[in-house]
Amino acid sequence: MAFARPLLRRPLSGQLLGRRGVCAGAMAPPRRFVLELPDCTLAHFALGADDPGDADAPDPRLAALLGPPERSYSLCVPVTPDAGCGARVRAARLHQRLLHQLRRGPFQRCQLLRLLCYCPVGQAGAQQGFLLRDPLDGPDTRQALLELLGACQEAPRPHLGEFEADPRGQLWQRLWEVQDGRRLQVGCAQVVPAPEPPLHPVVPDLPSSVVFPDREAARAVLEECTSFIPEARAVLDLVDQCPKQVQKGKFQVVAIEGLDATGKTTVTQSVADSLKAVLLKSPPSCIGQWRKIFDDEPTIIRRAFYSLGNYIVASEIAKESAKSPVIVDRSQLGGTLYRPLHPLGGEVCGTGLLESSHSSQDLE
């Protein structure tokens, strides 16, 4: 991926130039990246051994974000395709913690963008991350990032990449780790163009991260949270009291949807009074007091909470609809109440890269 020579302001070190062929070969299998640009469009690139012959031309927007005179860093949270539920929860919490830290201190002057690392063949295992663009190329930014890396003692440990241009105007990424307080370069690879995949890279991860195929999948997520969210155990106990098979009664069930603060509660109460119907809410009142707690958690935990709330509501509907009409004040996540959520449903909207939260939260 050759960039225009005016981008080159600072040559790479001789050590990197001497090792680049060996390092690039060590980066197998190659992974690809998708970067959400400030205008909400996407730019794709790869590292290392990808063959750029069938790829699109280099994206000048990408070159402007990764090349000099400013300095760009990537920070991704690793998670393997076959990672269990516990590993995905830990990765999601680390990603959220990094987001909060990257908005403070020396990072406040930097531009923070969304970054996703994924396998090129459409497999699950996408890694959430960030691109940090330092307009001053200050040593304090690099040092603060390395301190962040060193502070992550438990798995998964994030990967820190640093982008630089060589004398030919080509971009490279150096990969760093911190071991025993020492900064170690563990890889480097050339940035090469990559075509846009036919299937968005988040789609293979949807069944295990934001939409759950059944009750047990959502339940497993909250089981992993009981050690740091005591309310998760209470939610699980309520779910376990619900029958696994429910059937709607003979009376009508009406779910009224709408954005927050648009008058749903007023309308649902009025309709319920007119029809002499039972009024239910989703999430149900028995767990509704914990919404704020779970809304502050990463997407995978938040979605599991609302998904399990649907099963509780479904049980309530089955019981009440046998005696009278039922009005439901929203059905969370846009799914139905009697079967699992559609894998492409819910609130995964816009670019769908990282924004899949119940409430709008920037960069989450």
What pLDDT digit, counting tens, does each position of 263-276 carry? 888 999 999 999 99
Nearest to 92 by CA among 297, 292, 353, 291: 297
CA distance 214 to 227: 23
Q: What long-range pairs does 61-65 form, CB within 8 A, spacing at least 24?
A: 61/37, 62/35, 63/3, 63/4, 63/7, 63/171, 65/35, 65/37, 65/113, 65/131, 65/133
Element of type H or E holding 267: helix 264-275
DSSP string spanning 292-349?
HHHHTS-HHHHHHHHHHHHHHHHHHHHHHTTTS-EEEE--GGG--SSSPPPTT-TT--
What are the CA-CA distances from residue 299 to residues 41, 62, 211, 358 (Å)? 22, 28, 10, 8
Q: What is the 3-state secondary structure (H, E, C) of 27-51?
A: CCCCCEEEEECCCCCEEEEEECCCC
Name, in order, each residue with C-beta under 8 angstroms of 201's C-beta and a sequence gap of 6 or more: 32, 34, 116, 118, 119, 122, 126
**So what's the architecture of 210-350 in CATH?**
3-Layer(aba) Sandwich (3.40)
20 phi, psi to nearest 5 deg: -65, -35
pLDDT for position 333: 40
User: What is the biggest distance separating any 2 CA atoms in the chain, rounded to whole angstroms?
Assistant: 80
Q: How far is CA 46 from CA 35, 36, 171, in A?
A: 11, 15, 11
The reply to whether omega before 6 is within 30° of 0 (cis) is no
Between CA 225 and CA 233 the distance in angstroms is 8
Task: Map out the domains of the chain as residue ranges.
Answer: 31-49+57-204, 210-350
Q: How far apart are CA 356 and CA 304, in angstroms?
A: 13
Which letter does DSSP use for residue 142 in this model?
H
Which residues, given as ranges, of the chain have pLDDT below 70? 1-30, 49-58, 81, 122-124, 208, 331-364
For the entire predicted model, the pTM comes to 0.78
Is 20 within 8 Å of 26 (Cβ atoms)?
A: no
Rounded Cα gap, residues 328 and 269, in angstroms: 10
Which residue, 279, 333, 326, 285, is CA-closest to 306? 333
- The per-residue pLDDT for 271 is 92
Q: Which pLDDT belongs to residue 49?
A: 52
C-alpha–C-alpha distance, residues 231 and 222, integer Å: 10
CA angle 301, 304, 305 (to 5 degrees): 90
Nearest partner of 282 among 322, 255, 249, judged by Cα: 255
